[in-house]
A = this chain, B = another copy of it.
Amino acid sequence: MTTNKIRVAIVGMGKIAVDQHVPSIAGNPDYVLTAVVSSRDPAMPGVAWHKTLQSLLDDGPAIDAVALCTPPQVRYELASLALSRGVHVFLEKPPGATLAEVGLLEAQATKSGATLFAGWHSRFAAGVAPARAWLADRRVDSVSIVWREDVRHWHPGQAWIWEPGGLGVFDPGINALSIATHMLPDPFFLTAATLSTPANRAAPIAADLTFRDSRGAPVTMDLDWRQTGPQSWDIVVETDAGTLSLAKGGAVLTLPSGVEQHDDEEYPGLYARFATLIRAGESEVDVTPLKLVADAFLRGTRVAVENFDD
Do B295 and A100 touch (CB < 8 A)? yes
Do A298 and B298 touch (CB < 8 A)? yes
Identify which of B101, B107, B187, B297 contacts A103 (C-beta below 8 A): B187
Query: Is A49 on the interface with B (CB-CB < 8 A)?
Result: no
A291 to B190, CA, bound (A): 15
Query: Is A124 on the interface with B (CB-CB < 8 A)?
Result: no
Q: Closest residue to A165 on the B side, CB-wise?
A: B299
**Which residues of A are at the interface with B, using a C-beta cutoff of 8 A?**
76, 97-101, 103-104, 107-108, 164-165, 187-190, 193, 202, 214, 288, 291-295, 297-302
Given contacts A99-B291, A202-B301, 8 further A-B contacts (CB under 8 A): A99-B99, A99-B294, A99-B295, A103-B187, A103-B291, A104-B187, A107-B187, A294-B294
Shortest 7 CB-CB contacts between residues of A and residues of B: A100-B189, A98-B295, A294-B294, A101-B189, A297-B297, A294-B298, A297-B298
| Residue of A76, A202, A214, A288 with most partner-chain B CB within 10 A | A214
A187 to B164, CA, bound (A): 23
Tell me whether chain A's interface is mostly helix, strand or loop, or mixed.
helix
Q: For residue A302, which residues in chain B have a CB less than 8 angstroms away from its CB?
A: 202
Q: Closest residue to A164 on the B side, CB-wise?
A: B301
Q: For residue A103, which residues in chain B have a CB less than 8 angstroms away from its CB?
A: 187, 189, 291
Q: For residue A165, which residues in chain B have a CB less than 8 angstroms away from its CB?
A: 298-299
Do A190 and B98 touch (CB < 8 A)? yes
A101 to B76, CA, bound (A): 27
Do B298 and A293 touch (CB < 8 A)? yes
A108 to B101, CA, bound (A): 27
Q: For residue A299, which residues in chain B have a CB less than 8 angstroms away from its CB?
A: 97-98, 164-165
How far does the Cβ of A301 sit from chain B's closest Cβ, in whole Å?
A: 5
A101 to B301, CA, bound (A): 18
A277 to B20, CA, bound (A): 50
A108 to B297, CA, bound (A): 25
Q: For residue A100, which residues in chain B have a CB less than 8 angstroms away from its CB?
A: 187-190, 288, 291-292, 295
Q: For residue A76, which residues in chain B have a CB less than 8 angstroms away from its CB?
A: 189
A165 to B299, CA, bound (A): 4
Q: Closest residue to A299 on the B side, CB-wise?
A: B165
How far does the Cβ of A172 sit from chain B's closest Cβ, in whole Å?
A: 16
How far does the Cβ of A110 sit from chain B's closest Cβ, in whole Å?
A: 13
Given A100-B188, A187-B100, do A294 and B292 touch, yes or no (CB 8 Å)? no
How far does the Cβ of A175 sit from chain B's closest Cβ, in whole Å?
A: 17
A85 to B44, CA, bound (A): 64
A164 to B292, CA, bound (A): 15
Q: For residue A300, which residues in chain B have a CB less than 8 angstroms away from its CB?
A: 164
A193 to B302, CA, bound (A): 18
